[in-house]
Amino acid sequence: MESASFCRIAAILPDDTDVSGLIAEVNRRFPEAFCYRSSARGIGRTTRRTRLQPLIAERRHLVSVITDAREAETIFEFVIETAQIKRYGGGLVYLERLGQGFYALASQPTVAGRD
């Protein structure tokens, strides 16, 4: 049995990035890739509305693409160009290889003397 190698491309993008368009384009060009997104505050830069108010964390979009390792570099370059990462405040994109996971089942034997 051959084991497949997978990678995750993760991007932290500013709020003004067209994330829906980016994901739609990745899904259109690379149908085997799996994309998902979420948004958060507190990642990266903060701003002040006025001098006396506390810092306010800017909203960021978190985009992840899970893909086969053979396509990972191509999708990585595509995300960098499409999301305009090279501009000031453009965000962050990184690529990581996913290891093989394992699952522990409740029916597996336990260590002697433990429940």
pLDDT by position in tens, the chain (length 115) = 345 688 999 998 888 888 888 889 999 999 888 888 888 776 665 665 666 767 667 778 889 999 888 889 999 999 988 888 888 778 889 899 887 544 444 444 444 444 4
Does some domain include residue 114?
Answer: no
Does some domain include residue 1?
Answer: no
Say if pTM beats, i.e. exceeds, 0.75.
no
Does some domain include residue 113?
Answer: no
Does some domain include residue 70?
Answer: yes
Does some domain include residue 78?
Answer: yes
Q: Residue 91: which CATH number?
A: 3.30.70.120
Q: What is the DSSP string of the chain?
A: -PPP-EEEEEEEEETTS-HHHHHHHHHHH-TT-EEEEEEEEEEEEEE-SSSSSPPEEEEEEEEEEEEEHHHHHHHHHHHHHHTTTTSTT--EEEEEEEPPP----TTSPPPTT--
Does some domain include residue 103?
Answer: no
Does some domain include residue 35?
Answer: yes
Q: How many structural domains comprise the chain?
A: 1
Domain enclosing residue 20, as ranges: 6-98
